[in-house]
Structure formats: structure tokens, C-alpha cells
Structure 1
Amino acid sequence: MSKQLRSYGESSTCVFWNVEDYPIPEGLDPHSVEEKIKSEVAAMNFCGDLSVQFYGNKTRFSDDDGLLRKYSDAGIKTGILP
């Protein structure tokens, strides 16, 4: 691995998922998607801290359907936009 890639591999990485425009595919849950993202990032030799954050608007995360609770229960960070 080149010196440049090695330094990036040890850096912190943050993945942002826009669930408003790109909803989680049918049949998957937030936790399994987060685990897949972490697995793929690790497979690319990124070994630093990894943070995954899902975000959407208030309508997407209204607690009427319990979606926000699913994210929270899985320990996933969410960002709610106006």
C-alpha cells in the first residue's frame, strides 16, 4: 500500500446516508445496512474510526411509523433536517 493510502486508511471516516432520496431497500433494516457499510469500508483497508449517520427530513422521521425508534434502538445516529 502506498504511503498516501496508508495515511488515509488510518484516518477517521464518516458516511452520510440520505434516507429521504435513497431509502433503505425493502426487506433491510437500518442496523444491517450500517453493518454492511462498515464491512465494505473495512474491506477497502480503512481501519480508522468509522461513523455512519442517516439523515432525512421531519416527515421521514416522524415517529408515526416507528422509523426513528428503529434507528435509535440500533444505536444509529440520525440527523433530522427541517
Structure 2
Amino acid sequence: MAEAPYMTAKTSVWWDIESCQIPRGFDAYGIAQNIGSALEKMNYCGPISIYAYGDVSRIPPTIQHALYSTGIALNHVPAGVKDASDKKILVDMLLRAVDIPAPATFMLISGDIDFSNALQQLRVRRYNIIFAQPQEGSALLVHAARTVWLWTSPLSWRKPSHTKRKLTTCFQ
């Protein structure tokens, strides 16, 4: 559950749509609502901003429309440059930290280990970190976060079985 200073604080969600794609059989229109509902059930009641990063040309137009229509900001990062999405997320995340002082919540949806140092540094600076990972996610990222969700099953987010930390379980 959210701790007192984070209950009404702003929540920024950074989604690496290339490493954590929309799960098969899941309606893209429900992503933002599901994230919001899961956060609300954990008593995060502040405003939520969701930013998705990846090569938009690889996302079907119907899914693009669904994401845009629910308030998710799609950030186009052309394919072909190694770790381009990761770098864009890192820069935007750190710029957001400059604009929004702690306490605030940053949620990362990714499986890339590149974020572990940034998340650790943000946590040290009193940012609340939530991490949603694919099943093969990095243990370093899990340890940087206060709360961990399994991205591959967003209708029934649950704690990953391979971690020994106490993790928060969220259900839709």
C-alpha cells in the first residue's frame, strides 16, 4: 500500500513498449485504466501520466489510436539505434525528476537492466519506485523498486515468484 507522502503525489509511468508489449488478447483501451485501477487499489490517488516509448511505426494504427485515446503519450523512437528507447526514457525520467520534486512515484514498465542505476538513484532521493517487468526481468531492477508487478499478466498483476522480497500484489 502507498505510504502517506505518496498517496496524493503525482505518478509518472514510463513504458518501454518494445520490451513490454501489450499482452496478447488484452485490449489496448484497457491498459491506462488497468494501471490506474491497480494504483488506486494501492491508495495511489494522485494524478497519473503515462508515457510509452518505442518505434511507433511498428505499432498498428488501431492500437496507436487506442493508446492515444486513453491518454497515453506515445513517444516515437525510431528502430535501428541501439538502446535508443532506453536512453530517451532515462532522459525524460530524469528531466521529470527535476520538474517534480519528491515525494512522487515513478513507475517503470520494462525488462531492460539499463534502468537499474537511475531507479536506485531516484529511490535514494525519496522517489517511490514501482516496477512492472516481463517474466525474465532483471533482479537488479526488482531490487531498485519498492513495488514490483508482473507485466505479462496485467489483468491479474501478481508478484514474481523468483524474488525473495515482499512484493505488493495488484489485482484488476
TM-score, with structure 2 as normaliser: 0.39
User: Percent identity, aligned pairs only?
Assistant: 30
Once the two structures are superposed, the pairs formed by residues 1-82 of structure 1 within 5 Å of their partners are: 5-61=3-59, 65-66=60-61, 67-82=63-78
Give the structure with the higher percent strand: 1
- Rounded Cα–Cα distance in structure 1 between residues aligned with 2:69 and 2:4: 34
Shift of the 12–20 alpha-carbon distance from structure 1 to 2, 3 Å rule, reads: same
- Rounded Cα–Cα distance in structure 2 between residues aligned with 1:47 and 1:73: 21
Shift of the 14–6 alpha-carbon distance from structure 1 to 2, 3 Å rule, reads: same
Mind listing any 5+ residue stretches in structure 1 that lack a counterpart?
none
TM-score, with structure 1 as normaliser: 0.75
CA contact (8 A) 1:30 1:74 kept: no
* Cα deviation digits, residues 10-38 of structure 1 (max 9, x gap): 11001111111111001112221111110
- Rounded Cα–Cα distance in structure 1 between residues aligned with 2:69 and 2:45: 25
Aligned residues: 76
